Amino acid sequence: MLLSARKLCRSFGENQVLFDVDLDLQAGEVHALLGENGAGKSTLVKILAGYLRPTAGEVWVDGRQRHYRSSGEAEADGVVMIHQELALAEQLSVEENIFLGRELRRGMFLDRRAMRQQSREALAELETDVDPRARVKDLSTSDQQMVEIAKAITRDVRVLIMDEPTATLTENEVKVLFALIDRLRKRGVAILYISHKLLEIEQIADRVTVLRDGHLVDSGSMAGRSKEELARLMVGREITEMYPPRTQLPVDAPVVLEARDMVVPGAVKQASFTLRRGEVLGFGGIVGAGRTALLEAMLGLRGKSAGQVLRNGQPVVLRHLRDAVHQRIAYLTEDRKGKGLVLNMDLRSNVTLLNLRAHCHPLIDRRREEQAFQQAIQRFDIRLRTAARTAAELSGGNQQKLLLAKVMSIDPEIVIINEPTRGIDVGTKHQVYHFIHELTEAGCSVILISSEMGELIGLSHRVAVMCAGVLTRVLEGEQINEHEIMQYASGIKGAGIDEQRYG
Amino acid sequence: MSSVMANNKTTDKAANKMTKQKGFAIDLKTWGPFVALVALALLGVLINPAFLGLDNLSNMLTRSAFIGIIAIGATFVITAGGLDLSVGAMAAFIAGVMIILMNSLVEQFGAGLTTVLLGVGASLLLGLCAGFINGMVTTKGKIEAFIVTLGTMGIYRSLVTYLADGGTLTLDWAVRDIYRPVYYGSFLGITIPVWVFLAVAIIGYILLNYTRFGRYCFAIGSNEKVAEYSAIHVDRIKTMTYMLQGVCVALATIIYVPRLGSASGATGVLWELEAIAAVIIGGTMLKGGHGRIWGTVVGAIMLTMIGNILNLTDAISNYLNGTVQGIIIIVAVYLQRASWRKSAP
């Protein structure tokens, strides 16, 4: 046994988040760690990688008991963790990052050539064309992820812990990553793999451990287990219908929002679409196709160089998100932590921040604000079991619900939702889907940007597909399927794409 | 819509636990500066009982009013993630312009109330404009506040030197007689500067904690992107903090001018650092997102109190005032960070 944990417990203050958890990792296996948000997965792996110390319990590596006081000590044993939130020095180059803290030297000076050489080899192994001299700041998120992985494999890694590695990767990059995981496994590396995507787990995991509310629920071989069974173990209840039925649209449902010939410099070359009352309009396409840019430009969050926005058939000018709010359009950003929530602010202020004027006459009425917050907790089922004071202390799923509560505070008629289920667990996803359904039942319209095919297909009335800044096609009815969406998203289908892209 | 999402019974219990813990943590942080102030005052009494004399206390509070008023403005700027280094030079510049204006108005209106009021009005207007410039250049020009206000600091400082032709601008004696009570007068036994200080502090407290403007300052200082995505006019709010700062500087100048009746290139030197120090001692975070008005008030009083105590004792030379202040600033921030660390999980 390469690494074993015995009866690990961990508390934060009075609040225990991990209860007597056992885990065994063998050389050459991919071990999936499953659990809802807040189940204690991150705490567990942080203990294994030396970032946290257990309140009780033991960690054994190579048959010797270890008491890591820092991540550096764990890394010296070959236990390396790749973070969910990338931890790279943005202003440094790729190679400088890969060797950060353990620079190769010749005498007093840095041995740049050796470092570059080794960085190149590591990146080549990942089949990525990232330049070792590029600045990390200038890389896409997925390339940054590759740098993180390269950083891990240049160390003599024996246990590799990956926390949601595919959350920001494109489909192709996921393939490359899986191939790499396979090679590492053959080399005898033990991989502890955290993900919410059960499909992925099914593909690559040899064994699986499931946590729920800090307790070990099940652990064993993947063979003979279905996704459905795993989902049930994680959530603790049966999830029957993942996607609620679509709201029936009347034939004459009016158009509530329309975009005409939108152009956003550097991102969108040509896009027009309509949104009808009670409709879910999906937006598909690969990362960087211009979906976020298009909708943010419509809302006044980015500059556009041409195009017109019509609300209920009337042209409107939205220069600032406040104008969009006045038009009762709400926007749920995909970047919860960077753009959605003030992490070091208390929860109540976060919920009321967007619609604070409703609680001002003219001074802020703290009591009314608190009432609104309590209502939001109820309505969106925000779970405060961690006694969180600030938004940063909430789990990902609860943060998403808090953000949902915040944008819904303006009582919108149109809700634009960007990647609503990124990095959140099955149970919360299910709640989000049903929430979208409730919105459309109540006569609201929803624009859903998502990279998850299942979500787009399961929820949308129509799916608009974008490719390289061009809205190539709006698919309807029978056309909405994975194959068709991919064809338009990758530019295989769609008339005149090439002209528009290169013209 | 609540059918699906509301099925949780533990919420209330958890919420109660949360408020209990919250109350405790905030107490520690909020009262820290006050505890330090009381300790310092006790030290003062021990060193010299004259410290508690009414005259001494009144004198000390009056002196702390300048820095205090400026520091309250700085609390907004810093809370919203900005910084204003130009306040000392701005005060000198406003004082200079005010004196020149009032001296020239004497011919037209005589040395009366009109002249003083016009001077005061011009001062406020000037402060507002100076703040507006700082704010606009920072937000629209997308230049760091440190650099912009370093620039305007140099500009105002040299302008007042230029206006005074390298010497000193002196207020007309007759005007000074009328204007004198603004610094030396008192109401209900408390001097006018202290009243102004108190009024600015109360207004500042309400503005920061009970208005949208204040809440937006916190949000912007914590994360500008989030503020933008919360439909907040970030540039507008930030500019407003600098304008508020300008008005505070003008108010401080208005009560400062009758004290000496003059202005020169040496007026208000290092005030910006004292103001920032008062803000930081009070528990506001320099990187923004967290600000406290009463902490700032206490910080400003503490800084003056240190000088006052050193005046009353022979044990430490008066020339070491800056040393003691420096140590207190560093210790205060160290203690705050330590309590932060404890309360974080």
User: Under a CB-based contact definition with an 8 Å cutoff, are residues B62 and B184 in contact?
Assistant: no
Residue type, A40: G
B341–A contact, CB cutoff 8 A: no
Q: Where are the beta strands (DSSP E) in chain B?
A: 168-170, 186-187, 190-191, 262-264
Comparing A179-183, B79-83, B202-206, B291-295, which segment has the lowest mean pLDDT? A179-183
Whole-model pTM: value is 0.77
Q: What is the mean pLDDT of residues B73-81?
A: 94
Please name the member of A301, A342, A387 whose beta carbon is closest to the beta carbon of B21.
Answer: A387
Q: Is A127 left (phi over 0), alpha (psi -120 to 50) or beta?
A: left
Q: Calculate how close chain A gets to B280, using CA atoms only, in Å.
A: 18
C-alpha distances in Å from residue B62, one per residue of A383, B57, B68, B195, B211: 51, 8, 10, 9, 29
Identify whether the C-beta of residue B277 lies closer than 8 Å to the C-beta of residue B324: no
Q: Which tokens belong to B46?
A: 């021990």
Q: Which residue has the tokens 């890694």?
A: A157
Alpha helices (H) along A205-261: 227-235
- Ordered by where they begin, the domains of chain A are 3-235 (3.40.50.300), 241-328+412-503 (3.40.50.300), 336-409 (no CATH)
Report whether A385 contacts A213 (CB < 8 A). no
- Asked if B131 and B77 touch (Cβ cutoff 8 Å), the reply is no
- B329 vs A29, residue with greater confidence: A29
Q: Which of B1, B233, B289 sits opposite A442 (nearest CB)?
A: B1
CB contacts of B229 in chain A (<8 Å) are: 301, 321, 331, 333, 339-340
Asked if the C-beta of A187 comes within 8 angstroms of chain B's C-beta atoms, the answer is no
Q: Cα separation of B255 and B62, whole Å?
A: 10
| B contacts of A338 (beta carbons < 8 Å) | 223, 225-226
Residue B284: its pLDDT value, please? 86
Give the percent of chain A with pLDDT over 90. 15
Contacts with A320 from chain B: Cβ below 8 Å? 231, 233
- The fraction of chain B above a pLDDT of 70, given in percent, is 89
What is residue B338's predicted lDDT score, i.e. its pLDDT?
63
Residue with tokens 């508390």: A11
Per-residue pLDDT, B16: 42
Tell me: the pLDDT tens digits for A171-227?
777 888 888 888 888 888 899 998 877 778 888 899 999 988 788 888 888 888 887
Mean pLDDT over residues A239-248, rounded?
75
**Are the beta carbons of A384 and B15 separated by less than 8 Å?**
yes
- Asked if the Cβ–Cβ distance from B210 to A387 is below 8 Å, we say no
pLDDT at A495: 54
Q: How far apart are CA A398 and CA B283, in angstroms?
A: 30
Q: Which residue has the tokens 């002209």?
A: A499
Highest mean pLDDT (candidates A229-243, B64-78, B265-279, B284-298):
B64-78
Q: Measure in Å the smallest separation between the Cα of B110 and chain A Cα atoms.
A: 42
Cβ contacts of B231 on chain A, cutoff 8 Å: 320-322, 324-325, 354
Cβ contact, residue pair B289, A381, below 8 Å: no
The yes-or-no verdict on residue B342 having pLDDT over 60 is: no
DSSP β-ladder status, A306-311 and A255-264: antiparallel
CB contact under 8 A, A13 and B206: no
Which residue is it, tokens 């006790």?
B42
Question: Is the complex ipTM higher than 0.90?
Answer: no
**Which residues from B are below 8 Å from A321, CB to CB?**
228-231
Tell me what pLDDT residue B172 has.
83
Contact A83, A145 (CB under 8 A): no
Residue B287 has a pLDDT of 85
Backbone angles phi, psi at A342, to 5 degrees: -85, 100
pLDDT at residue B24 is higher than 60: no
Please name the member of B10, B17, B222 whose beta carbon is closest to the beta carbon of A345.
B222
Nearest CA in chain A to B288: A344
Q: What is the pLDDT of residues A124-136, one digit of tens each?
A: 877 777 888 888 8
Alpha helical stretches, state H, A316-452: 321-326, 347-352, 366-380, 396-408, 426-441
3-state class of A388 per DSSP?
coil
B345 touching A, CB under 8 A? yes
Cis peptide before A254 (omega within 30 of 0): no
CA angle A56, A61, A62 (to 5 degrees): 145
* Per-residue pLDDT at B240: 95
For position A14, what pLDDT does the model report? 66
CA distance A408 to chain B (A): 12
pLDDT in tens, A356-390: 888 888 888 888 888 888 888 888 888 775 566 78
B287 reaches A (C-beta below 8 A): no
A42-79 confidence digits (pLDDT tens): 889 989 988 888 989 999 888 888 888 888 888 888 88
pLDDT in tens, B117-139: 888 999 999 999 999 999 999 99
pLDDT in tens, B30-40: 677 788 888 88
**Antiparallel, parallel or unpaired: β A190-194 and A30-34:** parallel
Query: Alpha-carbon distance A11 to B153, whole Å?
Result: 51
Taking only the tens place, the pLDDT of each residue in A443-466 is 899 999 988 778 888 888 999 988
Helix (H) or strand (E) holding A307: strand A306-311
Mean pLDDT of B192-217: 93
pLDDT-based confidence at residue B194 (cuts at 50, 70, 90) = very high
Looking at every residue in chain B, the average pLDDT score rounds to: 84
Residue B218 sits at the chain A interface (C-beta within 8 Å):
yes
Asked if pLDDT for residue A148 goes beyond 70, the answer is: yes
- Would you call B223 and A406 a contact, using CB atoms and an 8 Å cutoff? no
**Cβ A43 vs Cβ A156: under 8 Å:** no
What percent of chain B has a predicted confidence (pLDDT) above 90?
42
Asked whether the predicted pLDDT for residue B9 surpasses 50, the reply is no
Tokens coding B25 = 């943590």
**Residue A353 in contact with partner chain B when CB distance is under 8 A:** yes
Where helices occur in B261-320 by DSSP H, the ranges are 271-281, 293-312
Q: What is the mean pLDDT of residues A84-89?
A: 71
Query: Which of A235-239, B100-104, B151-155 tops mean pLDDT?
Result: B151-155
Locate A436 and state its tokens: 């979208």
Mean pLDDT for all residues in chain A: 84
pLDDT at B20 over 80: no
Question: Does the structure show a pLDDT above 70 at B168?
Answer: yes
Q: Do A342 and B222 touch (CB under 8 A)?
A: yes
Q: What is the chain A residue with the closest CA to B225? A: A339
Token pair for A254: 């009016």
Among the residue ranges A127-136, A297-306, B10-19, B229-238, the one predicted with the least confidence is B10-19
What are the φ/ψ torsions at residue A384 (nearest 5 degrees)? Answer: -105, 35
Looking at chain B, which residue has its C-alpha nearest residue A440? B1
- Would the CB atoms of A320 and B14 count as touching at under 8 Å? no
**Helices B192-210 and B234-260, packing angle to 10 deg:** 170
Half-sphere exposure of A307 (CA within 13 A, CB side): 27
**Cβ(B279)–Cβ(B75) below 8 Å:** yes
What are the start-end ranges of the H helices in A7-111?
41-48, 71-76, 94-98
Interface of A with B in 394-413 (CB under 8 A): 401, 406
Pairing of strands B186-187, A280-284: unpaired
The crossing angle, in degrees rounded to 10, of helices B212-222 and B192-210 is 70
**Domains of chain B with CATH codes:** 52-343 (1.10.3470)
- What's residue A84's pLDDT? 64
Q: What is the mean pLDDT of residues A229-240?
A: 70
Binding-face residues of A in 29-58 toward B, CB within 8 A? none
* Cβ-nearest to A435 among B5, B15, B211: B5
Cross-chain Cβ contact A354/B231 below 8 Å? yes
